[in-house]
Amino acid sequence: MGSMDTCYYIKGNTIWNTEPKSASLVIQKIFKAKRQFEEAGYSEEEVNQMEKFFIKHIYKALQGSFQKVSWRKIVCNNNGLPKCIFILRLALQDRLATKERLARWGLVEDAICSLCQRKDETIPHLFFECELSDDVW
């Protein structure tokens, strides 16, 4: 014979309650898949009863559920420039590095808007209140 066959005996147990001490790459992958089923919340009995397996179900179970955000449609599937989408996302998450925010961190001394020199540079000011940015938008 050209290849060596290896048999793993698990002493009357199932793959669900056995951990190999040393195993081939293929066997290690099988045990890794078992752990992923467990992480997704599937029991041995549920897996054995599956007639069809859908990766989508495991993916959704491993992903978990997240609260949908109101700005998702503005940012996702947007055909705008990546740079603009990135800035938009930072602004929507209130993470844009405005002078007001940098002043709170002690990185700049004044928070006055660099464009109009009248009010503090905040996200609402930059996008809606500043006279000079109003000309751009």
CB of 16 closer than 8 Å to CB of 34: yes
Query: Which amino acid, 19?
Result: E
Q: Supply angle C-alpha 32, 35, 37, rounded to 5.
A: 115
Which has the closest alpha carbon to 7: 21, 30, 19, 24?
24
- pLDDT single digits (tens) 27-67: 778 778 888 888 888 888 888 788 887 888 888 887 877 78
Q: Is the pLDDT of residue 10 over 70?
A: no
Provide the residue ranges of all domains of the chain, joining segments of one domain with +.
Answer: 4-63, 71-135
25-39 helix and 55-63 helix, angle to the nearest 10 degrees: 60
Global pTM exceeds 0.85: no
CA–CA separation, 16 vs 22, rounded Å? Answer: 16
